[in-house]
Chain A
Amino acid sequence: MATPTPTPTSPASITASGGRGGFLLARARVAPGGRWAVRAQPAAAELVERSVNTIRFLAVDAVEKAKSGHPGLPMGCAPLGHVLFDEFLRFNPANHAWFDRDRFVLSAGHGCMLHYALLHLAGYQGVTIDDLKAFRQWGSRTPGHPENFETDGVEVTTGPLGQGFANAVGLALAEKHLAARFNKPDLTVVDHYTYVILGDGCQMEGVANEAASLAGHWGLGKLIAFYDDNHISIDGSTAIAFTEDVLARYEALGWHTIWVQNGNTGYDDIRAAIKEAKEVKDKPTLIKVTTTIGYGSPNKASTHSVHGSALGSKEVEATRKNLSWAHEPFHVPDEVKRYSVVPVELKLQNFKVITNKLFCCEEIQTCSSSLGSSSGCCILHSV
């Protein structure tokens, strides 16, 4: 991949050098106060769909290659994952440990191929395509459940259900505490959100209720939880053992609740929900996102068999046909690659001086880039 020439050295602008595959480049603009920020405009619907399927198939292919793993959640939560990571999450793929990044936890850790696929697309060097191909293999950086000490971009180790959700409450507590201690009227140095995806299993675990009760009591307004409401757990339909009113329980615990009824294709619904959640400052928010587990698999979607087993080569083929995904395993289409957040190669001299911080925020700004506006663009602001 070509490194763009850093023509203007002033922080005020970095010119896009267009056309070369694999990069999203941007025109920089200095906002008042000299702050740099990446602002993402949602890509055109077609590109979003392609990105979402990329995520799905990276997961499907990795699980298939390993003959082990959990394809259902990644397939069902790919839309949510795409919108969250691509349009809302603030992070620097070149520096997974940047202090003021948004925190993301996958409490339903078995669905980690979703997280790995997103980290890969986002440009984290710790999750290359070879890492995805080595999913669940000895010595790989993509273990079967997320391990923070193994994979850059993974905040906490999850797998045992409910733990990640409680970790997220702790992450949000930390932000609120540090913000209260160190933010000044004229300078906000601690300002990030904590997002967590949890499933039916996590919701059944008592530890999640304990943590949620405290999050409500503490008014952790920058904690946003997504409840993957797919009605399936290992033993089958949730009708078998889990029929409580989850949203009502969270309301009783002092949370704000939202329901996205179509988590499969309702991208605007997902966006609107996250926006609303961010506006509620005095309560954490639970967004129930109704999805189809194993979305796209014609014979296994919505069943417990897609939760924790590889699809099998026949079903993988059928899914490819069903979603019109003609590509070979582990293929990331160029236009999806290009759209991803600014990759590591842009760690240039100029940026080092500034601080190397690149992050996305949700405000939409139009800009013209030499790539053409249809692929969306980012504007860099310094910090």
Chain B
Amino acid sequence: MPEHETNLLFCLAYAGPLGQGIANAVGLALAEKHLAARFNKPDSEIVDHYTYCIVGDGCNMEGILTEACSLAGHWGLGKLIVFYDDNHISIDGDTEIAFTEDVSGRFEALGWHTLWVKNGNDGYDEIRKAIQEAKSVTDKPTMIKVTTTIGFGSPNKANSYAVHGAALGTSEVEATRANLGWPYEPFFVPEDVKSHWSRHIPQGAALEADWDAKFAQYEQKYPEDAATLKSIITGELPAGWADALPQYTTESPADATRNLSQQCLNALAKVVPGLIGGSADLASSNMTLLKMFGDFQKDTPEERNVRFGVREHGMGAICNGIALHTPGLIPYCATFFVFTDYMRGAMRISALSEAGVIYVMTHDSIGLGEDGPTHQPIEHLVSFRAMPNMLMFRPADGKETAGAYKLAVLNRKRPSILALSRQKLPHLPGTSIEGVAKGGYTISDNSTDNKPDYIIMSTGSEVEIAVKAAEELTKEGKTVRVVSFVCWELFDEQSDEYKESVLPEAVTARISIEAGSTLGWQKYVGSKGKTIGIDKFGASAPAPKIYKEYGITAENVIAAAKSL
């Protein structure tokens, strides 16, 4: 019987969409390597576990797998062991139909060690040997191709796609029982099997007890590290951590929210021990480098800037793995907001699996200018507002960016997206960190009876336009309330009283303005109001020109208000 000192970690995320799980596994292995580098001591290996993953042909066809495995090879994740269930069948039939590449050759090109278990059906010693060998290769991840028969044992359906995703049916179940000499009734676990497996209960308890004792010693010898590691393990944030966030005022220098985001990330990095992340080759544009740390690389895994390369989908799913590895690991990842299209699958799994990944998405609208329509988000904000369990933040200035980060860090079971500007924005009077927690809140209002003439609502880079329009209307003697709708999900969770205080039912003259799809705004603007936005693709031109040509202007807000 093989010895094992190590713990097994199974995939914790929702698998299902193929390729996600293996990318999660890369994230889990990254987390282990990182924590081991940070906390292990010469006399105490307190972090020491393997990550195992089973992938099939389907996973292997998905692009996300190559993205994640290229990184795993680059990072030398030696404690990641992947089993490739080589059964030559996918839903549409034999893999001959669409999948004839040299998989092991591809993995070797990606820097992996590869093995082949030719008889995965009953070659038990082969399997054992392969795992042993994989574990002994410490500088590369290992892919073990295991050739199996899908549906092994079913006399008529084994090795066909029919057995992939449909119940066998009663007669085939019977035939399989006969074929494998299994006379038992359904759900029966033979005594000897039960008894054999039952040793894992005391064994597992002993494993953990041993580790607890080890940790107690570690705590004695290295109290500071132990406290930090403990907080990462439990997820308990250090007291007063949010106070580290920068304090902005209207006097603070105007800046793009992507830059303010970097300030927030760097402030948090000092106090949040589990903050780790990076960008898909856009660190210098997303502004996501943690200046006090170096790059997480094969030989420097204790560092916290992760370089994902142009691999958005792999990045998102790897972050899911990091988030689900340990409650106190708080991963963030970044790219241009439009390239959420490249990683939406992973983001949805973040939301579904309750993985609190922080998605830092810059260049969030036509405001990015000349790169043009392929890069300018339009439908993205509303698409994420529609996604369950996803917080979609679009902060207008420094205070709101800090507020968004505070909530993103606090929400460990809900992922957050921060949509951030490329262009410089002013710090606005009336914005606040507390307001962000309400999702939508009043930032200026010269009415006295909760019955302003107009309510202008906006998010992010267009809030300053709303404010300008409000100033003009105020000069003409109107009462105007400006609402910043930084996060719709949080607003929708507020009490009815609060919502009424921001959007009184009696006031129907409402205008929204946002440099994105108007879809969804109707729910706050109402049928008697007016939405101003962009419902077509953008354009390649300097940003101010696009704003003007597309009507995202204070003049238009004023005209809309007067038309109501």
A210 to B66, CA, bound (A): 9
Residues of A within 8 A of B (CB): 66, 68-69, 109-110, 136-140, 143-145, 147, 157-162, 200-202, 204-210, 213-214, 216-217, 233-235, 240-246, 248-249, 251-254, 304
Residues from 325 to 373 in B contacting A, C-beta threshold 8 Å: 338-339, 341-342, 369-373
Assuming the contacts A69-B370, A159-B371, A249-B109, asked whether A206 and B102 have C-beta atoms less than 8 A apart, the reply is no
Name the interface residues of B374-423: CB closer than 8 Å to any CB of A.
Answer: 374-375
> Could you tell me if A234 and B282 are in contact, using CB atoms closer than 8 angstroms?
yes
A206 touches B98 (CB 8 A): no
Query: How long is the Cα–Cα vector from A209 to B60 in the complex, in angstroms?
Result: 11
| Cβ B310 vs Cβ A159 within 8 A | no
18 contacts between A and B (CB under 8 A): A68-B542, A139-B541, A140-B540, A145-B375, A147-B372, A158-B374, A159-B371, A159-B375, A201-B310, A202-B310, A204-B311, A206-B64, A206-B65, A240-B309, A241-B74, A243-B111, A246-B109, A249-B109
Contact B61 A213 (CB under 8 A): yes
The 8 tightest CB contacts between A and B, nearest first, are A206-B63, A252-B105, A159-B374, A143-B540, A241-B309, A248-B109, A138-B541, A249-B109
Quick check: B109 and A245 within 8 Å, CB to CB?
yes
A214's partner among B98, B106, B281, B309 (CB-CB below 8 A) is B98
Which A residues are CB-close (under 8 A) to B111? 243-245
Name B's A-contacting residues (CB within 8 A). Answer: 61-67, 70-71, 73-74, 98-106, 108-111, 279, 281-285, 295, 297, 307-314, 338-339, 341-342, 369-375, 539-542, 545-546, 549
CA distance A276 to B67 in the complex (A): 30
Q: How far is the CA of A139 from the CA of B284 in the complex (A)?
A: 29
Q: How far is the CB of A77 from chain B (nearest CB, A)?
A: 18
Report whether A253 and B101 are in contact in the complex, using a CB–CB cutoff of 8 Å.
yes
For the complex formed, measure the closest distance between the CB of B506 and the CB atoms of chain A, giving whole angstroms. Answer: 42
Q: Are B63 and A235 in contact (CB under 8 A)?
A: no
Contact B539 A206 (CB under 8 A): no
Shortest A214–chain B CB gap in Å is 7
Residues from chain B with a CB closer than 8 A to the CB of A160 are 338-339, 341-342, 374-375
Q: Which residues of B contact A145 (CB under 8 A)?
A: 371-372, 374-375, 540
B545 A138 Cβ-Cβ under 8 A:
yes
In chain B, what residue has the closest Cβ to A136?
Answer: B370
A140–B279 alpha-carbon span in the complex (Å): 32
In the bound complex, CA of A175 to CA of B341 (Å): 29
The answer to whether B281 and A235 have CB atoms under 8 Å apart is yes
Q: Contacts of B545 on A, CB cut-off 8 Å? A: 138
Tell me the nearest residue of chain B to A234, going by C-beta. Answer: B281
Q: Are B100 and A217 in contact (CB under 8 A)?
A: yes
Q: With both chains docked as a complex, state the minimum distance between the C-beta of B299 and any C-beta of chain A, in angstroms.
A: 12
Q: Which of B63, B106, B281, B374 contacts A210 (CB 8 A)?
A: B63
B444 to chain A, nearest CB (A): 33
Of B74, B373, B541, the contact of A147 (CB 8 Å cutoff)? B373
**In the complex, A343→B109 CA distance in Å?**
46
